[in-house]
Amino acid sequence: MDAAFTSRHPRLRELLLTLKILSRNPSAVAGALIIGIMAFMGFSADLLAPFDPIRINLSERLNPPGWGHLFGTDEMGRDILSRVMHGARISLRIGFMVVAAAGMTGSFIGAAAGFLGGRIDNLIMRVMDVVLSFPPLVLAMALAAAMGPSLNNAIMAVAFVMVPKFARIVRGEALAVKEMPYIAAARVSGAKNFWIIFNHILPNCMNSVVVLATLTLGETILIAASLSFIGLGAQPPAPEWGAMISVGRKFVMDQWWYATFPGLFILFTVIGFNILGDALRDVLDPRIRR
Amino acid sequence: MRILRYILRRLLYVLPVLLGVTILVFFISHAIPGDPAQMIAGPKASRQAVEEIRRSHGLDKPLPIQYLRFVSGLVQGDLGRSIRNHRPVVEDLKDFLPATLELTLAAMILCLGVGIPLGILAAVKRNKLTDHLTRVFSVFGVSTPVFWLGLMLLLLFYRNLGWLPGSGRLDIMVQPPPQFTGMYTLDALLAGQWATFANALWHIILPAFCLSYVYLAIITRIVRSSMIGVLGQDFITTARANGLSEAIIVLKHAFKNSLIPTVTITGLSFGELMGGAILTETIFAWPGMGKYVVDSVNYLDFPGIMGFTLMVSLVYVLVNLTVDVIYAFLNPTIRY
């Protein structure tokens, strides 16, 4: 793209600059690479996975890792590698759905609280404090249990728990942005509150939201897997990593491979999001930048 | 005087939060699909029995009235009865609390005892090999699923090496110590039973490490970054210019000033450790509240689940209140 084009689109220029700086940051590249591999595996699992992840094959029960089954098989004779690959799609989907829902709701609530101020701000933030008075896993567990054990309910429960994180960060930013002269200008020219929130406040909070979203993706995948592990998320025979470990736990003393591989995949996916998130924070913080 | 006023204000601020917590838990328990009266009565109860329970439990009253009854029950220490064993949930939680508290405290000691020195070391050796290694250690810590880590620890230290026991709080042959606190290690010490103490300690190592790893990682990072911030300040340069030894500078002057973020994160971690206990206790068959709540989940025993949720939140809020008070003593500039 030529300079004339990007100079007319400052946000695009900003994005390109950010990507350029990121590509020189080794942990950002490593994180993006891990997530990329997981996403590729998840999306092409139908083509790449050597076996059907659900179909039972009792003659191949609990085979150790070998050439036929690289990661071994489970108690139903299903290929663990194929299940783990399909699991990548489930876990990434959970992560993105939760972060999209919680990120949008939380950002809007936070922007409204910070921008409108006064009683509304006070009320909203006290409600957020209540949600933050529970350890995330505990509240998500109570909500998921109340709604009934299913993957969709677990997603909603985790999303609910994550909302205050976004609301808090965006509120803080909104308090600063609100004092900028262009907000006063917008107001003088007759802009409505909602218009200002969407067109000025939220876009200017995006950097923090992107960093938080990346780090929250990792945390979400951990919490969702934990819920599945205690039986409140994905239900068998779905090849979800946490649910696989939950069953594999019974076999861990003699069939080590069963619980080990799904756990390694959770570990690496979350590491990917965490190191990418840390790198993003360094790059997007204007004070450290250059 | 100002510090008293601060503490008082902080206490007043906790009240609406606690009120909100009870409202939220109340609404969650009412979001349960199905008829609560039927659930208490059991699936085989007659219509009449269900109606009787609906009346006697006040489930036919409007929601605000039900909420008031719920809160007045709470104040009197009534969390309802477990559907599983028909015992009051409070009694169950009381039985299981000491084991969880023991595990959480042991994990906390590990977090601080290992995390603080590691963080200081990483800050002093900034950008050296030690620092990079602690960074890797921390990234793994915040990314590892606790339940999977527990299984891997069992596989390695119990199954393959046979160094540590794999479940429970004591060997089956060992009698529990006389009960003072309900925490076996502490009780054994108080009673002077050294063999029991060693056995209980032996059992708690693996679960405590498993539970602590996440917060160990976080505390290490926090101590490191706050130490780096302090070590760059002028008074440290002055101390060096005055010829103080590096050990005194780091341990006395710098560390003291880096305590505030450490205290904050310690308070937050304590509540989260109780959450993490859900998974750790399940893996290590540790008979605490976490294992209790997972059993409740499997039976869909809602009074049990909600009682646990409320209890943990209460501890979480109170610990953080305590942290804020400690904060005020540590840093005289913090006042409302």
The verdict on residue B3 lying in a domain is no
CATH number at residue B107: 1.10.3720.10
CA-to-CA distance for A264 and A241, rounded, in angstroms?
Answer: 9
Whether residue B31 and residue A263 make contact (CB cut-off 8 A), yes or no, is: no
Whole-angstrom Cα distance, residue B113 to residue B194? 23
The answer to whether B24 touches A130, Cβ cutoff 8 Å, is yes
Q: In the predicted model, is pLDDT for residue B118 greater than 90?
A: yes
B33 domain residue, yes or no? no
Answer yes or no: is A147 within a domain.
yes
Question: Cβ contact (<8 Å) for B309 and A275?
Answer: no
Confirm whether B127 is domain-assigned.
yes
Q: Give, in order, the Cα–Cα distances in Å from B143 to each of B43, B110, B179, B214.
A: 42, 19, 38, 8
Distance CA B209, CA B216 (A): 9
The three-point CA angle A67-A70-A72 to 5° equals: 105
Count how many domains chain A has: 1
Instruction: Kindly determine whether residue B316 and residue A135, on different chains, have CB atoms separated by under 8 Å.
Output: yes
Burial class of B131 by CB neighbour count within 10 A (0 to 12, 13 to 18, 19+): middle
Omega within 30 of 0 (cis) for the link into A237: yes
Asked which of A57-71, B27-41, B77-91, B309-323 is least confident by mean pLDDT, the reply is B27-41
Give the span between the Cα atoms of A134 and B73, in whole angstroms: 21
Residue B5 belongs to a domain: no
pLDDT digits (tens, 9 = 90+) for B216-242: 999 999 999 888 888 888 888 888 888
Sign of the Cα torsion A24, A169, B22, B315 reads: positive
Q: Is B44 domain-assigned? A: no
Q: Identify whether B55 is part of a domain.
A: no
Is-contact A186 A203, C-beta < 8 A? Answer: no
Q: How do residues B145-183 score in pLDDT, each as one tens digit?
A: 999 999 999 999 988 888 888 888 888 788 888 888 888
Burial (CB < 10 A; 0-12, 13-18, 19+), residue A61, is middle
The minimum CA-CA distance between A191 and chain B, rounded to whole Å, is 35
**Structural domain includes residue B74:** no
Question: Could you tell me how many CB contacts below 8 A there are between chain A and chain B?
Answer: 139
**Neighbour-count burial of A47, counting CB atoms closer than 10 A to its CB (0-12 exposed, 13-18 middle, 19+ buried):** exposed
Nearest-CA distance A209 → chain B (Å): 20
Determine the pLDDT at residue A286.
61
The reported pLDDT for the residue numbered A240 is 92
Best CA proximity match to B262, nearest among B311, B229, B237: B229
Q: How far does B293 lie from chain A, in Å, by closest CA?
A: 10
Mean pLDDT value of segment B11-16 = 86
Out of A127, A139, A266, whose CB is closest to B148?
A266
CB atoms within 10 A of CB A192: 10
* Residue B108 domain-assigned (yes or no): yes
Contact A142 B276 (CB under 8 A): no
Chain A residue closest in CA terms to B135: A275
Q: Which domain holds residue A280?
A: 43-289
Interface with chain A: mutation pick from B136, B138, B147, highest number of A CBs within 10 Å:
B147
In angstroms, the CA A168 to CA A209 distance is: 11
The token pair at B148 is: 């999977």
Write down the pLDDT at residue A287.
56
Q: Which residue has the tokens 């923090």?
A: A208
State the angle between helix axes of B129-143 and B194-231 in degrees (0 to 180), rounded to the nearest 10. Answer: 120
Query: CB distance B21–A225 less than 8 Å?
Result: no
Residue B127 contacts A where some CB pair is shorter than 8 Å? no
The helix/strand/coil state of B145 is coil
The phi and psi torsions of A56 (rounded to 5 degrees) equal -85, 140
DSSP class per residue in A215-246? HHHHHHHHHHHHHHHTTSSSPTTS--HHHHHH
Query: Range of B192's domain?
Result: 95-330
Total domains in chain B come to 1
Cα–Cα distance for residue pair A68/A86, rounded to 1 Å: 18
Return the pLDDT at A95. 95
Please write the tens of the pLDDT for every residue from A210-228: 999 999 999 999 999 999 9
Mean pLDDT of B246-274: 83
- ipTM of this complex: 0.89
Q: What is the mean pLDDT of residues B85-95?
A: 88
Amino acid at A41: M
Residues of chain A with pLDDT under 50: 290
What distance in Å separates the CA atoms of residue A230 and residue A3, rounded to the nearest whole number? Answer: 54
Q: Kindly report the CA angle at A125 between B5 and A197, in degrees rounded to 5?
A: 135
Helices (H), B242-288: 246-248, 255-257, 259-283
CATH (domain of A280)? 1.10.3720.10
pTM for the full model?
0.89
| Nearest-neighbour CA in chain A from B90: distance (Å) | 17
Q: State CA A17 to chain mean position distance.
A: 24
* B259 at A interface, C-beta within 8 A: no
The residue type at B329? F
